[in-house]
Amino acid sequence: MTELPPHTESELIELVRSSDVRAPDSLHRQVSTMIASRPRRRRLALHPPVLGAVAAAAVVVVVALAVALSGGGSPTLHFNQAAAPTLRAATLSAPPESSTNHAELTAAVDGVKFPYWEDRFGWRSTGMRSDQIAGRAITTVFYSDASGRRIGYAIIAGHPAPRIGGGVVLWRGGVPYRLLATNGAAVVTWLRDGHLCVVSGRGVSSATLLRLASWSDHDASAS
Amino acid sequence: MRTLDPQSLTQHVDRLYRAAWALCGSREDAEDLVQETFARVLARPRVLSGDDELYYLMRVLRNTFLTGRRTASRRPVTVATLDEVVAADPRPLGQPERALEMQEVYASIAALPEDRRLALVAVDVLGLSYREAARALRVREATITTRLFRARKEVARLLVSELAPEPPQIPVARREETRASGVLSSGETS
C-alpha cells in the first residue's frame, strides 16, 4: 500500500499500473451470462477469397431483405416517435388470448407475438392500434389493470430495428432493457427477435414496466 | 487473422472496468460502459488481425464511450425516472486507504480533457504500448506521447493540489468585525 499520495508523475504511473481494483462480482456474472447467451453462428471453413465473395453476397441479400421487410422504412425512427403510439388511444378492438399458447395474444408483428398478461399480472388487453411512422409500421396493444392504469406495448416492424440510445440500461436474462421517459411517462425499450419493442404507461413505474417486459420477452418468445 | 474467442474475454473484465472507471469517473457508469462494450463485441463473431485482444477491446470501449457521450448530448428527453436502479457494487475496494486513493486518481483522470484521458487510460490503465494505443485511438504515435506527457503532469498536479493542506483563513465575518472595531476605537481616541 502507498502511504502517501503520488507527488510525481513516476509515482502516479506506478500507482495506476499497480492498481488491482476488481470489477464487481455482479459485472463478472453479467459478462459471463452475456457470453453464454451470445448469438451463435455456424462457422464456415472457407478460404479468404471465397469468404470475401460469400460476405459480399450476404451483404447484398441482407440489404435487399431489409428493404423488402421494412417496406423501405427508414431506420432513423426516433425514440419519441416510437413511444408516441403507446400513449395514444386505441382504435381497434382488443386481440384475444392465443388458443395454443397461454402466454400470448393472437396479435403479432412479423411473427413476434404480443404477450398475454391477464392471468399472471392482472393486465387485460383492452384495445389495439396501428400506425405508420417514419416509414415503419407500428402495432400497439393496450393493457389495463384493475385500478384503471394503462400500458401501451408497441412492436415496430421491419429490419434493422431502429436504434434507441440514452437512458439507463438494465439487463434481465441476458437482454438489455433501456429505461427512459417521455412526456411524463416511463418507457422501456428492448429487442425481441430483432424487433424494437416499446412499453410505456402514465402512472406506471419503470420497475413494473421492466418486470412485464422482461417476463413477456422470456416466456412469450421462448415458448 | 483469427476469430476472437468470447470465452477469453472474461480475463479482461477487471482491466476494462478500471479503464471505464477512469474514463467515466464513476463506478456505476463504468459498469454500464463495460456492459455496453461487451454487448457490442459479442453481437457478432469478430476477426482480429493481431494477437492482442486488449487493444481491440480498448478500441470498442473508446467508440462506445464516445458514442454514449454524443448520444447523451443531443438527446431531447432522456431523464429516466427510475424507481429501480441497480446500484454499483457497494463493497469496499479492499484496503480502505488504497480504495480512497484510487478513487481520487480515477476522478482526476476523468477530469482531464477527453483526448488526454483516452491516451492515459490506454497506456497507463490498460497497459497498451504507445503503438497499440495510437492504433486503438486512431492517432499518431507522437500524438500519444504528447498527450500522455500532458495527462500525467496534469493528474499529478491535480492530486497534489487536492491533497495539499489549505492555508488557514480568517472567516469574512470576523475580518469585518476586526476592521469595524478598529475604526470605532480610533474614533474614540480622537
pTM of the model: 0.49
What pLDDT score was predicted for residue B116?
94
CB contact under 8 A, B160 and A7: yes
Residue A135 Ramachandran class (φ > 0 left, ψ -120 to 50 alpha, else beta): left
Does pLDDT of B123 surpass 50? yes
A44 pLDDT band, cuts 50/70/90, is very low
What digits encode the pLDDT tens for the residues B41-55? 887 788 887 667 888
Pairwise CB contact (< 8 Å): A165 & B75: yes
Question: What pLDDT is recorded for position A16?
Answer: 83
Mean pLDDT to the nearest integer, A142-147? 91
Residue A114 has φ and ψ, to the nearest 5°, of -80, 145
Give the Å distances, CA to CA, from B187 to A187, B177, B180, B182.
71, 15, 11, 9
- Cβ neighbours, 10 Å, residue A28: 16
pLDDT for res A59: 58
How distant is the Cα of B71 from the closest Cα of chain A, in angstroms? 6
> Which of A166, A183, A207 is facing B83, going by the closest CB pair?
A207
The answer to which of A45-54, A193-202, B57-66, B143-152 has the lowest mean pLDDT is A45-54
CB B31 within 8 A of CB B68: no
Q: Per-residue pLDDT tens for B124-152?
A: 998 889 998 998 899 999 999 999 999 99
Q: Return d(Cα A211, Cα A105) in angstroms, integer.
A: 18
Q: What cell does B53 get?
A: 485482444
Residues of A in Cβ contact (< 8 Å) with B71: 165-166
Residues 6 or more apart in contact with residue A218 via CB below 8 angstroms: A172, A173
Nearest by CB to residue A32, choosing from B10, B81, B155, is: B10
Cβ separation A80–B77 shorter than 8 A:
yes
B153 to chain A, any CB pair closer than 8 A? The answer is yes
A-B contacts at Cβ under 8 angstroms:
159
DSSP state of A141: E
Could B17 and A15 be called an inter-chain contact, meaning their C-beta atoms sit closer than 8 Å? no
Of A2, A25, A31, which is closest to B9 when you measure between CB atoms? A31
* Helix, strand, coil percentages in chain B from 3-state DSSP, rounded to 5: 70, 0, 30
ipTM of the prediction: 0.72
Q: Is the peptide bond before A160 cis (omega within 30 degrees of 0)?
A: yes
Q: Which residues of A touch B94 (CB under 8 A)?
A: 20
Q: What is the mean pLDDT of chain B?
A: 75
* Cβ within 8 Å of residue A207, ≥6 positions away: B82, B83, B84
CA distance A143 to A134: 25
